[in-house]
Amino acid sequence: MNPKLLPQRALRALALPAAAALLSGAALAQIGPAPTSSSLNATAGSFAVSTSNVSLPRGFGGGTIYYPSTAGRYGLVAISPGFTATESSIAWLGRRLATHGLVVITINTNTTLDQPGSRATQLMAALSHVVNNASSTVRSRVDSTRQAVAGHSMGGGGALIAAEDNPTLKAALPLTPWNTTTSFTRVRVPTLIVGADGDTVASVAAHARPFYASLPATTPKAYAELNGASHFTPNSTNTPIGRYGVAWMKRFVDADTRYSPFLCGAPHDSYATRTLFDRYDKNCPY
């Protein structure tokens, strides 16, 4: 039927299902092939990746931008390293996310001793840099409405603070996070926290677990506690972190519901065994 012949009331009725789909979290952009357990476990996704170095920016200490070589508009993620570390410690994750269709900046902090609050501010400065000051090629790849943060250790604590202070972010991924504050009741950003059972720097009892418990029940959230892992496990290529990090970012940055089963459904249930995780808590469905 020709829409021009329909009365306005009927047109509005036709529009309601589309609006409801958006509000319910239906996929806004299915970027890349449908995920499988094999593709998420692999060390790289299907996108070829280019890089751009960032030197002497405002607000953070520089870094590297990983972006899909294929033209398009992709979500944007900033990742902070931990205390005394540099961007090289989280470079593997930046590239891994980019190969699944995301633009990622891994940052150096202004000093390696910067605390979580400062790292939160620098994560947001890095996102702003990519959107406004990166090369024209990089800027052409970015959908500025879809931004997220991640970080290791104090960088993970910074990611939690950034998520609490910037509710328009689409996702947060704190990895063995450290922070003196354990209450994040104002976070509205979907957050996956990864802890390590053998962490002697930021013990899960004092950090990751109370961080997760404090997140509101109404905020999409998950807590993965790695079995046989240490505080520094996120500094090396790690299949569970890569798998769940990609799935989380794609589900909430892209709003791609194809990734939901790998966080809540049968593929997750068959993978998240006690061999890999001491515990995996979540408030599915999402």
Look at residues 197, 234, 190, 230 and name the one whose alpha carbon lies nearest to residue 212: 190
Does residue 109 contact residue 122 with C-beta atoms inside 8 Å?
A: yes
Q: What is the pLDDT of residues 44-92, one digit of tens each?
A: 999 999 999 999 899 999 999 999 999 999 999 999 999 999 999 999 9
% pLDDT > 90, the chain: 89
Residue 28: band (very low, low, confident or very high) from pLDDT cuts 50, 70, 90: low
Question: CA-CA distance, 105 to 247, in Å (whole number)?
Answer: 18
Which class does domain 34-282 fall in?
A: alpha beta
Question: CA-CA distance, 249 to 278, in Å (whole number)?
Answer: 23
The answer, as to whether pTM is greater than 0.85, is yes
CA dihedral 6, 9, 12, 13 (to 10 degrees): -90
CB atoms closer than 10 angstroms to residue 166: 17
Question: CA-CA distance, 214 to 193, in Å (whole number)?
Answer: 12
Q: What is the pLDDT of residues 244-286, one digit of tens each?
A: 999 999 999 999 999 999 999 999 999 999 899 999 999 999 9
* Catalytic annotation, residues: 153, 199, 231
Predicted pLDDT of residue 95:
98
Q: Give the contacts of 33 (CB within 8 A, at least 6 positions apart).
A: 39, 46
CA distances from 26 to 51, 74, 75, 167, 172 (A): 31, 17, 16, 19, 19
Q: Give the contacts of 203 (CB within 8 A, at least 6 positions apart).
A: none
